[in-house]
Amino acid sequence: MQGQPTSQEQELVAKVVAGDRRAFTELVEPFIPRLLATSQRMLGVHDQAEDAVQNALASAWIVRARLDPARPVLPFLTTITLNKCRDKLRRRKAAQFLGFGNAAILDLASDTAPSPEIEAVDRQLLQRTHAEIQRLPLRHREALILVAIDGRSQSEAADLLGISEKAVEALVYRARKTLREKVSRE
């Protein structure tokens, strides 16, 4: 769990609540890379991740009156971003069910391995792992991404997901176990 916000963050939040757009930009700008990384890991498609973060920030501006200067802003923004990712995943699932469009092609970074053979094997493993992460139940995926990939504490993940730390621990354990079984089997 994050500590108390800095006095500068508190001042910015007060200005944002009052409707200062410049203060909003200054407040959220440092968090955008982290929100984008979380969104990218949830959705697997860079363009959709950017859209989700943009929508989350627009929603945060709309509900800015809910900001509390005594509380850190990142958990608030992360919760909104996760909700926007969930919305996109629901729409994607509905579109796939109804037969609209193909599954999104994943934007995977190539590995700089010295040989083409090693590069191919690593890429296949990365694609399999990413595909299996996308197949995890939503709660398992969220917990895994927040704790194991984004590096958040179990306490912070519990606060963001609205569950206990023990539940986060169990979800991450099950997600890792499932991934180990699925990826090693193939």
Q: Is the dihedral of CA 42, 148, 8, 70 positive or negative?
A: positive
Residues 6+ apart with CB under 8 A from 8: none
Angle at CA of residue 45, ends 40 and 50, nearest 5°: 60
Q: Is the dihedral of CA 55, 58, 62, 65 positive or negative?
A: positive
pLDDT (0 to 100) of residue 1: 43
Side-chain-side CA neighbours of residue 60 (13 Å): 31
Q: Which of 2-6, 113-117, 125-129, 154-158 has the lowest mean pLDDT?
A: 113-117
Q: How far, in Å, CA of 38 to CA of 35, rounded?
A: 5
Angle at CA of residue 81, ends 80 and 83, nearest 5°: 65
Structure tokens belonging to residue 72: 């850190």
Confidence of residue 6 (pLDDT cuts 50, 70, 90): confident
pLDDT in tens, 123-179: 777 788 888 888 999 999 999 999 988 888 999 999 999 999 999 999 999 999 998
**94-125 burial, b if ≥16 CB within 10 A, otherwise e?**
eeeeeeeeeeeeeeeeeeeeeeeeeeeeeeee
Q: How far, in Å, CA of 26 to CA of 30, rounded?
A: 8
More confident residue, 101 or 176: 176
Helix runs in 29-115, H state only = 32-43, 46-62, 73-98
Structure tokens belonging to residue 86: 């969930």
pLDDT (0 to 100) of residue 110: 37
pLDDT in tens, 16-55: 999 999 999 999 999 999 999 999 999 988 899 999 999 9
pLDDT in tens, 46-79: 899 999 999 999 999 999 999 999 999 999 999 9
Neighbours of 3 (CB within 10 A): 6
Confidence of residue 2 (pLDDT cuts 50, 70, 90): low
- Residue 73: name the closest of 27, 36, 34, 37 by CA: 27
Q: Is 70 helix (H, G, I), strand (E, B) or coil?
A: coil
